[in-house]
Structure 1
Amino acid sequence: MNKVLILNLPGLVLKAGSRWYNTTKKGGATLKYYPYPWFMGYTAALLKKNGFNVVLKDAVALEWDENKTLDYIKEFNPDYLICEPTWVSIEDDKKILNSIDKKIIKIAVGNYATNFPLECLEKTGVDFVAIGEYEFSVLEFIKSSDGQLPKNFISKDKKEFKNPDLVDPEFFPFPERNDTPIEYYNEPSCYGRNIVMVSSRGCRLKCDFCNVECIYGQHAYRTRTAKSVVDEMEYLKKNYKFDEIYFDDDNMVAKKDHVDGICKEIMRRKLKINFLCMGDGLVDDETLELLAKAGCVTYKYGLEHLDLEVLRAIPKPLKPERSLEIIKICKKLKIRSYVNLIVGLPQSTQEKDLKMLQEVIMADPDLIQIAMATPYPGTTFFSKAKANGWLITEDPSYFDATGHSPISYPNYSAQKIEETFKLGWQMWYKNVLWHKPATLWFFVSSELRRNGILATGKKVLSYLYKIIS
């Protein structure tokens, strides 16, 4: 029986499972976060269901270095290795892949493989590259005995390909969770120990900075049935210990019947599980009310900005007043509101960004995330940035939404964007310290539950240092 190793390659760059490639601030992060590698998890479960000897290892979450990773590969001695190299980490990924036994068949998957398949094939030295959603095509390839490649595969001898058919998420078994360090996949906005799920794929919006289109080939929105989703919730409750479920969908509320149906099914079964979901600013009041009744304790959404000119440039069809109103509605429903904000978007200025940050903080959300606009290769934003001369570098280390800005506008320099990013976080930290004791206690108590007194104490000191500095 063929042995398959599905490996999230090691390093400080968040790779598989992440919608944006940022570098883990090892030792300096206030909160540690690793995203669950969804495509890899579903691929592992699918292959296991079909009788293959499969192991999923997340070297990023395990914090393995290159030597530890290579030792494990040698020990497991797989016939196939499936990995997700990224444009941001390509040099480190290439070094590891070129150190692996040549007899092991290596398959590259993910965003980089999808958007730059020929470059990925050449730079990484893998045997095959799979484009797009790859779970079923990997299964087809490993099961094949005639040597014929799936239509979305390329190799040194086959450079032409076709995009795969979009996958119906209802056809997957539950993702593999026992091979991975499941306790490491903690969304910072969840309380205590959480476990992750998805109920859909894709999004109804077409934000030009988003990586969703890069892997799916389009913003196609597909959903699982309410029964399937709630069955998995019950399975998780029975088999794992956790405080909350995090629905890590690209957009759980993109189809009203879908999210409302899940809420009604949870209530019909009288299932008592707290959960958080990722949504958008187009959600209606009825859905928010159903979410609250079903057990949703945090609603997370991409507010992004409040300036209409900036929103049109993304483009994102949000109404600023509605984006802020959702915060008030969540407070009324006793749901924590978590808003994602971006500084340095096209058509913005430092003045606009600082005004937006002040207005959002005044609206009193419970949690926020601030990122710098980053045009990842393959996105429409990257093409725009290159065409307009906004890119100041293509050094992969600068494509980090929480580190450096690779873009500079005539009226808004990269240096000013980075300055605004830091000012925004300082504004938020001070606001939490002086005006939001509930939010401060949420983080402290959550970290105590996850990591104990010593680790929490270190993070509190790190938090206070950021406020002072």
Structure 2
Amino acid sequence: MIKKDICLVSPPTRGNVKTVPIALIYLAGWLSKEGIDVDIIDIKINSYKGIDAKNESEIVDKIIRNLDSLKPHVVGLTAFTSEYNNVINLAKSIKDKINTKIVVGGVHASLQPEDFIYDNSPVDIAVIGEGERTLSEVVNNVKNNQALETIDGICFLKEGNAHYTNPRKLIENLGDLSLPLYSKLNMDYYLKVERHIIRYLYTSGVHILTSRGCPFNCTFCAAKNLWKDPACNRRVRFRDINQVVDEIQYLKDTFSIDSFYIADDTFAVNKNRAMQFCDEILSRNLKLIWAMETRVNLVSDELLKMIKKAGCIQVEFGVESGSQDALDRMKKEIKVEDTVRAFDMCKKHRLRTFANIMINTPGETEKDLNDTIKLKKRLKASHAGMNLTIPIIGTDIYEKYVSPKFSRDELGIFSDPHLYTKILDPRFRLAKHGIDLNKMYYRLNVCNYLNSFFEFTFNAKYIKSILNSRRKHQFAGSVLKNLYKQINSYARFIFGFLR
């Protein structure tokens, strides 16, 4: 029997996630280009209430059946910290039934690989950092029964201890990457009309990447520790603009997408490149709507005018706080005035805005909190998301404020659905003031929840995209389904507020 070289598996926690698994399709594209026989197992269920224990068990069973049929030499898993327990349990289930090597990559494996590599762990190898080249070498070495020590960027068990090989250099030229292998996914599922591409607007599309990395040092973000390169200090690498737009063109021609979202850590960090991207979108007459996230100090009238012309209808910003002291403590490297100016410019160009705002910031005082509330009112964003700042693993604030650190057995707390809405552990409280942050979260978000119920925009490009959509017959059904979901969500929200 011919065995698959490798199967990349989406964790069961993502069984109802509507966002394309970007990491897996990039890996699949690279491996396929290298002549490695790769498949993706991405089991989906129809659930608006999250993945419960029963759903997870059903997904795991389907994964095992698929793996038993394909019999791969290697199984590749991925995990955020919030998925740690689920992925360990999945790996145990696979090991019990399938004779294969299990490799785990992704955010948590890159930041704390030793959490996967220990005596009697079901995981054989943890990939640290960028996975394309590393995973290709792992597959070839496993198939040929060769030693793992020669592979850079991994951690495995040796003589009872976690053994680290040399750090892996980042791919210098992202042009070497292949087109993500969308053909390995059920794109009919991912392209259903939903509200997750351009927040709160119904559309069909995907998230795309035009770069990797971020040059900034925000203390609440782990990005700078995920994209380390032992060879240089360069923390942002860019894909060729033509290659990016080729991908968008492919998605439109092959799957009839209506929209896309640029999921870069910081799009427009290079203004000239952002303008070039818009020029290429316009020159190909793609007529797609899109959204992006960037920093308030990176936008200008010229840039906003250009992105709007190229089809962008929404810009998301990391506002974080209305207190300059709080922003400085977080090393955000922006001024409150930059935020006001950015939102005013977006209003001038009639671009929708989304404000990401945080409370419970490090050392937050009552004045800091009040300044943040005042700024939110001043900005009048189309939508705002206000969440608790949580010191996640890999961030500066985790290293500085969390003591003792969370043990492997405690990592389940990061999967709690209330992680960003309640202080679940005293180690998560960063604010100095004594205000009840659980109640404050609910009070600040009541209007946000109500505002999202019947959200619509009379943006001409958006309305035209609906009328021209191949999936326009899905819009009414999606609105009703999401309304039902929102009513349930709002009821839970109100129940939490009253408690």
Per the normalisation by structure 1, the TM-score is 0.84
**Aligned partner (choices 2, 5, 15) of residue 3 of structure 1:** 5
How many angstroms apart in 2 are the aligned matches of 1:371 and 1:393?
25
Q: Which amino acid aligns with 2:246?
A: D
Q: Which amino acid aligns with 1:196?
A: H
Cα shift at 1:99: 2.0
How many angstroms apart in 2 are the aligned matches of 1:227 and 1:270?
14
Contact kept in structure 1, 2:290 and 2:314, CA below 8 Å: yes
Q: Which residue of 2 aligns with 1:37?
A: 21
**Is 1:156 aligned with 2:161?**
no
Cα shift at 1:75: 3.0
User: Mind listing any 5+ residue stretches in structure 2 that lack a counterpart?
Assistant: 467-471
Aligned CA RMSD, in angstroms, stands at 3.3
**Aligned partner (choices 329, 345, 348) of residue 364 of structure 2:** 348
SS at match of 1:317: coil
**Aligned partner (choices 308, 312, 330) of residue 296 of structure 1:** 312
Cα shift at 1:398: 3.6
**Is 1:94 aligned with 2:88?**
yes
Cα shift at 1:217: 2.3
Deviations 1:318-363 (A, max 9, x none): 1112212222211221221112111111121355335413431342
Q: Which residue of 1 aligns with 2:469?
A: none
Q: Residues 302-451 of structure 1 correspond to what in structure 2 (within 5 A)?
A: 302-349=318-365, 352-386=368-402, 395-399=410-414, 401-405=419-423, 406=425, 407-409=428-430, 411-412=432-433, 416-430=436-450, 438=457, 449=475, 451=477
Question: How many residues end up aligned between the 2 structures?
Answer: 445
Contact kept in structure 1, 2:6 and 2:139, CA below 8 Å: no
Q: Residues 134-149 of structure 1 correspond to what in structure 2 (within 5 A)?
A: 134-144=131-141, 145=144, 147-149=146-148
SS at match of 2:220: coil
Change (3 A) 1:90 1:459: closer
Per the normalisation by structure 2, the TM-score is 0.80
How many angstroms apart in 2 are the aligned matches of 1:275 and 1:39?
21
Cα shift at 1:5: 0.8
Cα shift at 1:239: 0.6
Change (3 A) 1:393 1:321: farther
How many angstroms apart in 1 are the aligned matches of 2:338 and 2:216?
16
**Is 1:180 aligned with 2:178?**
no
Q: Which amino acid aligns with 1:147?
A: Q
**Aligned partner (choices 226, 244, 258) of residue 259 of structure 2:** 244
Q: Which residue of 2 aligns with 1:214?
A: 225
Deviations 1:165-207 (A, max 9, x none): 1123221111122333444474351541121211011112211
Cα shift at 1:367: 2.0
**Aligned partner (choices 225, 228, 251) of residue 240 of structure 2:** 225
Q: Which amino acid aligns with 2:136?
A: L
User: Mind listing any 5+ residue stretches in structure 1 that lack a counterpart?
Assistant: 15-23, 25-31
Q: Which amino acid aligns with 1:198?
A: L
Contact kept in structure 2, 1:327 and 1:365, CA below 8 Å: yes
**Is 1:67 aligned with 2:61?**
yes
Contact kept in structure 2, 1:192 and 1:243, CA below 8 Å: yes
Cα shift at 1:44: 0.8
Q: Which residue of 1 aligns with 2:290?
A: 275
Contact kept in structure 2, 1:207 and 1:314, CA below 8 Å: yes
How many angstroms apart in 2 are the aligned matches of 1:376 and 1:453?
34
How many angstroms apart in 1 are the aligned matches of 2:139 and 2:490?
52
**Aligned partner (choices 170, 173, 176) of residue 175 of structure 2:** 170
Change (3 A) 1:181 1:382: farther
**Aligned partner (choices 240, 258, 262) of residue 277 of structure 2:** 262
How many angstroms apart in 1 are the aligned matches of 2:215 and 2:42?
30
Contact kept in structure 2, 1:244 and 1:275, CA below 8 Å: yes
How many angstroms apart in 2 are the aligned matches of 1:177 and 1:432?
31
Q: Which residue of 2 aligns with 1:27?
A: none
How many angstroms apart in 2 are the aligned matches of 1:239 and 1:450?
24
Aligned-residue sequence identity (percent) comes to 19
SS at match of 1:129: strand
Cα shift at 1:397: 4.1
How many angstroms apart in 1 are the aligned matches of 2:93 and 2:145?
29
Cα shift at 1:278: 1.8
Cα shift at 1:272: 1.6
How many angstroms apart in 1 are the aligned matches of 2:376 and 2:422?
23
SS at match of 1:88: helix
Q: Which amino acid aligns with 1:84?
A: T
Cα shift at 1:429: 3.2
Cα shift at 1:60: 6.9
Q: Which residue of 1 aligns with 2:107?
A: 111
Change (3 A) 1:331 1:6: same
Deviations 1:418-446 (A, max 9, x none): 22222221132356679x8749xx99x99
Contact kept in structure 2, 1:200 and 1:222, CA below 8 Å: yes
Cα shift at 1:140: 2.2
Change (3 A) 1:448 1:103: closer
Q: Which residue of 2 aligns with 1:52?
A: 36
**Aligned partner (choices 119, 122, 125) of residue 125 of structure 1:** 122
